[in-house]
Every structure is written in structure tokens, then in C-alpha cells.
Amino acid sequence: MVRKTKGRSKRPTLVDVAREAGVSAITVSRTIRSPEIVSETARRKVEEAISRLGYTPDPAASALASHSTSTIGLLVPSLTNNVFSDVLRGVYEGVEGTRFFIQIGNYRYSALEEEGLIRNFLSQRPAGLIVSSMDQTPAGRALLESASCPVVQIMEISPGAVDMSVGFDQLAAVRSGARHLLDCGYRRPGFISARMDPRAQRRLATFREFTASAGVLDDRRIITTPQPSSVGMGRYLMEQLLSRAPDIDAVMCNNDDLAVGALMEAKRRNIPVPDQMGICSYNDIEMVRQMVPALTAVATPRHEIGARAIAMLLAEIAQPGSVDQRHLDLGYELMIRESTRPV
């Protein structure tokens, strides 16, 4: 059943190409990495030799000799969360056609695991690093600070970023959703949230402050769980909310799947949305606007965060120090749809 014979694959090397082309090894190397500094004739000979031999460079040898790889590390807290799949897409689109490739590390919302991954990634001498939080452990942060490659922190804006950052004001975003609910005339707003990582905690705190200052805070109307977010969890939290505070008239959801779940639960109970229950979602993945009724949501620039982060990183790798705007605030947008009733 064994198929492979660990083929001591006599794969051609730089030296083979050099011999074939009648030049030196370094000329071949240069032809590949910076063709513009090689003479027309040499280049042509080398290119022919390469295609004749079917040569492909060995990235390991290159990494060893040059002390740097073409790997870009991307640390995310979750692979399941739709939020990050959009970021991911932006990042992948940005590296397409370059010599770089992405290596994803999933730290599962654990700062300790994140620290381990940072250490691990850094030991591979990556060309750059994208990390999805500002909440590193002190050791993790120290590692990032002393990294010998550019680092982009994404998702939030924060004055304390290590090197570069791309994000938006998450707290202003959640506030705009809450404000919209009040503007619509809802007076007993609730809040549901799953997976209470530091960022979710901060958004909850902001919701509490905002509603408190508006005189409509009631802790019975706030339900959270450390478990992962899902549509089913949205239904469950909505159920809890309705039994603990039956007079609730609106709900701010900390994630899209929770909002979809909340809508489904309302439908099951024949609670009319938006008339007796306003629903505001957060992030605004595609599905949200296709619901019936379409969900109002705070739209976050997930894809653009990925795209801009990788663009910054590539620019900084190509030319260290060349990126002027090292901290980008991409903003957010309140998408008013059918699940909240305008005044």
C-alpha cells in the first residue's frame, strides 16, 4: 500500500541552473530576486536554464541564508466566528500574487495561547505579523515589541498599539446602535452577548454606561454567556431575556448570529418585530440584511480591516519605515433596516 519512496528527489539547485546557463550561482539568485540589476543577456540565459531544468527555489535554504522567510503570521481568536472569516478574506486577497503566504494561528480567545503562538511564530522569523487584539499578556506584548518584523494589530483603535494598527472605535460603534434604539422610541432595551472576551466585555460596559446615562439601564435586561456565539445561542439568550424581563422592548445583540437567533425566537413567539421588539445587530454579515424583516445593524469594516492591514504590512516589509499612516481608523456605519421602527 505504500506509494512513496521518500524520493531523494534530485531536484535541481541554483548551482545546476548556473552551470546550465554558464554563469555563477549568485547571478541566478539575482535574476530571480531582482532581475533589474542583471544584464539582459545573462537574464535570458538564466531564465531559459530555469525553465529547461524546471527549477524551483528552496525556501528553506533561502530563509536560512537570509534570516527571513516569506511567511506572514495571522493570529485570530476563532476560526468559526464569521467576523474573522471576512478579515481573513481581505488578508488573503492582499497576498495573492505576492511571494508571501499566510500562516494562521488560532488562539481560541486565550491570551495565554496567544502568547505561545506569538513565541512560536516569531521563532520562524516571519516577514510580518498580524494580531487580532490589543489584549496580549505582558510577556506576549513584550515579544511583539521586540519583534524584528513589522506588526499590525487589528480590529480596534488604541493609542497603545505596538507598531501599526487598523481598526475602528468599537465602543462608539456599540453606542451608535444603542442610541438608535432609543431614538426609535424603545425605552426598555436589553443586551445579549456570548463569548465574553475582553472586547465583548468592553462593549457591554459601554452599553451599560450609555443606557445608564440615558436613564434606561436595567441589569435584568442584560444577559451574557462565556460560551461561543451561535444562532441557537441567540435564541436561548432571547428566551432567557424574555422570561427575566418580559417588558423588554428592544435588544442590542453583540454579534450577528445572536441577532438572527433573537429574531427567530421572536418569530416563534409571534412577537412582532419591529413593532413590539426592536433588534439591532453588530457586524452586519451578509445574511443579516436578507432576513425578513431585514435586521438593523452596526456594520463593521471587517474585510477592509484585513485588506488594509496586509497592505500596510507588505509596504513596511518592502521598505521599512515607509508607512506614514501607522494607525488607521476605518469607522463603522449604522445600517437602519426593518427590525427597528423609526420614530
Partner DNA sequence: TTGAAAGCGCTAACAA
Partner DNA sequence: TTGTTAGCGCTTTCAA
Binding residues for a second copy (CB under 8 A): 1-4, 6-7, 9, 56-61, 63-64, 69, 79-80, 85, 88-89, 92, 101-106, 119, 123-125, 146-150, 163, 230-232, 234-235, 257, 260-261, 264, 267-268, 286-287, 289-292, 320-321, 323-324, 326
Q: Which is nearer to DNA, 24 or 85 (CB)?
A: 24
CB 43 within 8 A of CB 31: yes
DSSP string, 30-77: HHHH-GGGS-HHHHHHHHHHHHHHT----HHHHHHHHT--SEEEEEES
* Residue 42 makes contact with DNA by CB under 7 A: yes
Cα separation, 141 vs 76, in Å, equals 16
Nearer to a second copy, 49 or 231 (CB): 231
Taking CB under 7 A as the binding criterion, the range among 34-42, 213-221, 258-266, 312-320 that sits at the site for DNA is 34-42
Are the C-beta atoms of 84 and 132 separated by less than 8 Å? yes
User: To the nearest whole angstrom, how small is the minimum distance from the Cβ of residue 120 to DNA?
Assistant: 14
65 is a site residue for DNA (CB under 7 A): yes
CB burial of 238-265 (b: ≥16 within 10 Å; e: otherwise) equals bbebbeebeebbbbbbbbbbbbbbbbbb
Q: Binds 289, which of a second copy, DNA, none (CB < 5 to 8 A, cut-off by type)?
A: a second copy
* Burial of 144 from C-beta contacts in 10 A (0-12 / 13-18 / 19+): buried
Distance in Å, CB of 41 to DNA, minimum: 6
Nearest to 204 by CA among 217, 191, 213, 216: 191
Q: Work out whether 58 is an interface residue with DNA (CB under 7 A).
A: yes
Tell me the C-alpha distance between 121 and 251, whole Å. Answer: 40
C-alpha cell at 167: 481598526
Asked if 14 interacts with DNA (CB under 7 A), we say yes
Of 33-41, 74-82, 215-223, 333-341, the window that binds DNA (rule: CB under 7 A) is 33-41
39 binds DNA (CB under 7 A): yes
Torsion over CA: 264, 265, 268, 270 (sign): negative
- Under the criterion CB under 7 A, does residue 172 sit at the interface with DNA? no
Question: Which residues inside 66-85 make contact with DNA, applying CB under 7 A?
Answer: 66-67
Q: Are 129 and 103 in contact (CB under 8 A)?
A: no
Nearest approach in angstroms of CB 52 to DNA is 15
* Binding-site partner at residue 211 among a second copy, DNA, none, CB < 5 to 8 Å by type: none
Spatial distance between the Cα atoms of 191 and 259, rounded to a whole number of angstroms: 10
Minimum distance from residue 226 beta carbon to DNA (Å): 39
Angle of helix 25-33 versus helix 40-53 axis, rounded to 10: 90
- Binding flag, residue 57, DNA (CB under 7 A): yes
Which listed option, a second copy, DNA, none, makes contact with residue 292 (CB within 5 to 8 Å by class)?
A: a second copy
Residue 319 binding DNA, by CB under 7 A? no
Binding stretches for DNA (CB under 7 A): 11, 13-15, 23-27, 29-30, 32-33, 37-39, 41-42, 55, 57-58, 61-62, 64-67
